[in-house]
Amino acid sequence: MLAAEGVGMQPGLTGALGTVLVVAIAAICVAMAACTFRLIQGPSIADRVVALDLLASFIVGAIAVFSIKSGRFEIVSVAIVIALILFVGTAAFALYMEKGGQRQ
């Protein structure tokens, strides 16, 4: 309960954990740029949907890293809701493609 309230966590983390979190955010940003390129450039609708799903997954990861960095753990529930919506959307698209959706 104490960790959920942010007791003992410092918003401006320094040291090894702070460095790892900054590197993680940088890596997520680079990966998001690559996904955005695939989302725009993708030759088929399936490529674009997979890129969009991956981009949203990176957003969930960025929210998680931000919550650790800021010490605000109530934000994690937002990331969980986004992840659940992603799962349902991806499953619906897979069902659509299986039933003979748009083929390219």
Residue 7 has pLDDT above 50, yes or no: no
**pLDDT tens column, 45-65:** 888 889 999 999 999 999 999
**Scanning the structure block, which residue is given the tokens 């309230």?**
5
Q: What is the DSSP string of 71-92?
A: T-GGGHHHHHHHHHHHHHHHHH
Residue 15 has pLDDT above 90, yes or no: no
* Band of residue 2 on the pLDDT scale cut at 50, 70, 90: very low
Per-residue b/e over 59-85, b at no fewer than 16 CB within 10 Å?
bbbbbbbebbbebeeeebeebeeebee
Percent of the chain with pLDDT over 90: 56
Residue 78, token pair as written in the block: 């937002």
Domain regions of the chain by residue span: 15-98
Residue 3, token pair as written in the block: 């960790």
Measured distance between the N- and C-terminal CA atoms of the chain, rounded to whole angstroms? 51
What is the pTM assigned to this prediction?
0.76
